[in-house]
Structure 1
Amino acid sequence: MTEPDPRAPAEGAAATGRYAASNAAQQRLHELVPGGAHTYARGADQYPEDMAPILVRGRGARVVDLDGHEYVEYGMGLRSVTLGHAYQPVVEAVRRAIGEGTSFTRPTELELRAAETFLAQVPGADMVKFTKNGSDATTAAVKLARAATGRRHVAICRSQPFFSTDDWFIGTTPMNAGTLPEESALTLGFDYNDLDSLRAVLAAHPGDVACVILEAGTALAEPAPGFLEGLRALADRDGFVLVFDEMITGMRWSLHGAQHVYGVTPDLSTWGKALGNGFAISALAGRRELMELGGLRTSGRRVFLLSTTHGPETAGLAAYLAVERSYRERDVVGEMERQGVKLAEAVTEEIRVAGLEDHVEVTGRPSCLVFVTRDADGKPSQAHRTLFLQELLKHGVLGQSFVISAAHTDEDIELTVGAVRHALQVYRRSLGAGGVDGLLHGRPVAPALRERSTPRRLGSTGAVVNQGEQHHDQHHRRPDHQ
């Protein structure tokens, strides 16, 4: 079958028609839901224009949209689905649990079993409290640290993408309308793998840093020798609370989290995403003397800590227990790593064959791969990233990265590599033509966390209006910890 010429004048109309049902549903969502999605990282502005599928079902690593197109999906629920969509052991466990009720006036036996299981899973944690989203867990960690230390400031790793929707963090981003500047002013930044940058923060605010919060490792950054150990030593000497954000790394780096992989135990850690394989459950865990400040066995002032109606509902807890059981029965992390290596090697070979090594790169931890796109001058290019996403979509691959799951089969990888091959042909033409004009339908994707809706703004009728193009760094912050 001959591939259509991507420069053909009818291309834009064909793309719009191909996604007619999804586009209609997306416009309706914009009329009813601010942003047209319930997470900014899921927004239509994160996908090629008029090519943002609205999904109806999924199984394994495949999903289907309103227009009947099937895709191999990457990202997998913003990294929350590691076992695959509709994974039957989890679905059946949830079905059994909710058949007996979902929410009660008193704790359930399921809460006890989930807590015992989780604390056996997380090294160094004595107590745990479950909730429904990662932002609540990280903000609870900050609150505990401030209560325990009597200090005000929070130090965050500024190169890392997202910690919370609450003012102490979101107020430090460009999307800070409605936040209190006096709150975000207490949040300080330090650099990953740079202990001196944290020492400078501590010196500038002596005795007033309550906690240091960071991801121990990321897709693109591994801790340098001695870095995490140095953080632990600084915490012990200075008295701040060391918090590891395990939202992504927990159950993707290891069942026991990045803290187990790297051998450094924090005072508190926050978990989410993969805990429930897509069901809503997050957790705050840590040392007893800290966690008990939110309990009944304290003589000090009590912390109002994660008191939520839906935190202990049975579906999330049952999902977690089934996920944890699956991890013990299967080498889930190993499966993700092996499939990720296969995908990265095959895609890298396609890039080499296309002669695009200086322009396209797949990098990162095998279970958490990302792709980097550069223009003809070798500079990061959001427009070329969007072109790459557009061509992958046309050939049955959906995702803003190559974040894999244990459900991705060899057949899924083969389909993906074929889609990449087609995308690279178009990419190469864009470099020869000096840009994406005539190849990219619509405007480039925009950073999820930006001060204004421009350049992907919706008009009063729901139609997309052009407020001018901007160039964006493709490594922008994405709010996918929620």
Structure 2
Amino acid sequence: MNTEHSAPPEEFALPRSRRANERLHAMIPGGAHTYAKGDDQYPEHLAPVISYGRGAHVWDVDGNRYIEYGSGLRSVSLGHAHPRVLEAVRREIGRGGNFVRPSIVEAEAAERFLATVPTAEMVKFAKNGSDATTAAVRLARAVTGRPRVAVCADHPFFSVDDWFIGTTPMSAGIPAATTDLTLAFPYGDLAATEELLTRHPGDVACLILEPATHTEPPPGYLAGLRELADRHGCVLIFDEMITGLRWSEAGAQGLYGVVPDLSTFGKALGNGFAVSALAGRRDLMERGGLRHSHERVFLLSTTHGAETHSLAAAMAVQATYVEEGVTARLHALGERLAAGVREAAAAMGVGEHVLVRGRASNLVFATLDEHGRPSQPYRTLFLRRLLMGGVLAPSFVVSSALDDADIDRTVAVVAQACAVYRKALDAGDPTPWLGGRPVKPVFRRTA
């Protein structure tokens, strides 16, 4: 077991984390500031509370060390406390972080971003992805004069704002009139999307989607969507929160060669520091500015959107990606991990039940029951065994701080988990191996 306080695996417990989780729940709704970080996403009483992180490893308040995947919900792609990023941040913090007028750092950060993502002509920074995507939707409605938004139904999250959250099972507090303005289209199906646009002629302001997720776009799909948007007068928006930098330095649009009207970036952009970006065509973005004759659009106006240290972090991240070939490294690490996990699962007889999916730089896993259906109980079993082995992995999304030894250790732990998984499949019931209630999906109607 990969811990500093060693204990037999069956006695693995996190007493300090358990007490810390109670403290968190007493003061913070849900016990976390992001639902995906909630302790309901982890086996009962085995939700570690983090003390600190360094590189690809994190330590919990109980003193256990873990190899970490999906760091910061995919935001920490260079590893924790990356020296080059910290150096840039420290330099700017010492010069002041926020002023009554723009800092020259804002111009430098915009120039760096537009050089990295040359398909965009203007950019505006914010602190989180939701602000950026909502600004894109607002801008699309303003320039088209249309009320409806079409979102890709196969992608899990776009914004905390009403136009999207109203479409999820957690829609409490959102008027139906708002939700009714959001439509859905399936990923990869141009005919269905055209049918939707034809059914609502002159009504749909934009199509918003992640250009790719756990599946690659079908050949010609993104180009076909671009043509559909042009023909029906919609704004095409790429949510590149995840694909940005991980697919290529210029995002999925740089990899696939299809240019959206607007795109949003975040997550990997700051390596854990709070920064996001809305970018796109000059004629659209200028509608949120001062140099046009149209009605003004309240695009983005955030007190902390241009904090100098976060913009410095973003510049350092982009420079590191370009100069050190980080995207290629993420793919190489992911390919090694995926091959190892698949081999381990097959060797233990669960190759059809523990699946690794997605682009190598953005791997997720699926846990299927004896009937081949997605299973939260089997996910719980798998997560529990990974934690016991010192692997914290709600996904298998890699950071560039991992090394071959980390990957090899992870594969060994996965093999141990798969051996138990096989026992549960043979028994036809994973309950004895869960240690409590199963993990739960984030989007559900009741707590």
* Deviation at residue 95 of structure 1 after TM alignment: 0.4
- Alignment counterpart, residue 430 of structure 1, candidates 418, 424, 434: 424
Partner of 2:84: 89
- Alignment counterpart, residue 102 of structure 1, candidates 97, 100, 109: 97
Partner of 2:60: 65
- Alignment counterpart, residue 197 of structure 1, candidates 181, 192, 196: 192
> Does the residue aligned with 1:270 lie in a helix, a strand or coil?
strand
Amino acid at match of 2:384: Q
Name the structure with the higher helix share: 2
> Does the residue aligned with 1:231 lie in a helix, a strand or coil?
helix
Alignment of 1:413-424 (within 5 A): 413-424=407-418
> Does the residue aligned with 2:305 lie in a helix, a strand or coil?
coil
Query: Normalization by structure 1: what TM-score?
Result: 0.90
Structure 2 residue 21 is matched with structure 1 residue 21: no
Alpha-carbon deviations, 1:38-73, whole Å to 9, x = none? Answer: 000000001111000000111110000000000000
Partner of 1:463: none
Query: Separation in 1 of the partners of 2:113 and 2:122?
Result: 9
- Alignment counterpart, residue 358 of structure 1, candidates 339, 352, 367: 352
Alignment of 1:36-185 (within 5 A): 36-185=31-180
* Deviation at residue 377 of structure 1 after TM alignment: 2.0
Alignment of 1:329-340 (within 5 A): 329-340=323-334
Structure 2 residue 215 is matched with structure 1 residue 221: yes
In structure 2, runs of 5+ residues without a counterpart are: none
* Deviation at residue 325 of structure 1 after TM alignment: 1.1
- Alignment counterpart, residue 210 of structure 1, candidates 205, 210, 214: 205
Alignment of 1:283-294 (within 5 A): 283-294=277-288
Structure 2 residue 265 is matched with structure 1 residue 271: yes
Query: Separation in 1 of the partners of 2:218 and 2:97?
Result: 45
Partner of 1:318: 312
Alpha-carbon deviations, 1:286-333, whole Å to 9, x = none? Answer: 111111111001211101111000000011100001111111210101
Structure 2 residue 230 is matched with structure 1 residue 231: no
Structure 2 residue 295 is matched with structure 1 residue 301: yes
Partner of 1:462: none
Amino acid at match of 1:290: L
Contact (CA 8 Å) 2:119, 2:254: kept in 1 or not? no
Query: Separation in 2 of the partners of 1:70 and 1:355?
Result: 29
Name segments (4+ residues, structure 1) moved above 2 Å: 3-6
Partner of 2:256: 262
Query: Separation in 2 of the partners of 1:258 and 1:374?
Result: 30
Contact (CA 8 Å) 1:123, 1:265: kept in 2 or not? no
* Deviation at residue 437 of structure 1 after TM alignment: 2.1
In structure 1, runs of 5+ residues without a counterpart are: 454-482
Partner of 1:245: 239
> Does the residue aligned with 1:438 lie in a helix, a strand or coil?
helix
Between Structure 1 and Structure 2, how many residues are aligned? 443
Query: Separation in 2 of the partners of 1:159 and 1:327?
Result: 29
Partner of 2:343: 349
Amino acid at match of 1:300: H
* Deviation at residue 123 of structure 1 after TM alignment: 3.0
Identity of aligned residues (%): 59
Contact (CA 8 Å) 1:362, 1:371: kept in 2 or not? yes
> Does the residue aligned with 1:407 lie in a helix, a strand or coil?
coil
More deviation in 107-116 or 222-231? Answer: 222-231
Partner of 1:449: 443
Query: Separation in 2 of the partners of 1:130 and 1:176?
Result: 28
Alpha-carbon deviations, 1:77-123, whole Å to 9, x = none? Answer: 10011111000000011001000000000000100000111111213
Query: Separation in 1 of the partners of 2:284 and 2:42?
Result: 42
Amino acid at match of 1:207: G
Alpha-carbon deviations, 1:402-444, whole Å to 9, x = none? Answer: 0001111011111101111111111111111111122110111
Alpha-carbon deviations, 1:136-160, whole Å to 9, x = none? Answer: 0000000000000000000011010
Alpha-carbon deviations, 1:433-477, whole Å to 9, x = none? Answer: 111122110111111111110xxxxxxxxxxxxxxxxxxxxxxxx
RMSD of the alignment, in Å?
1.4
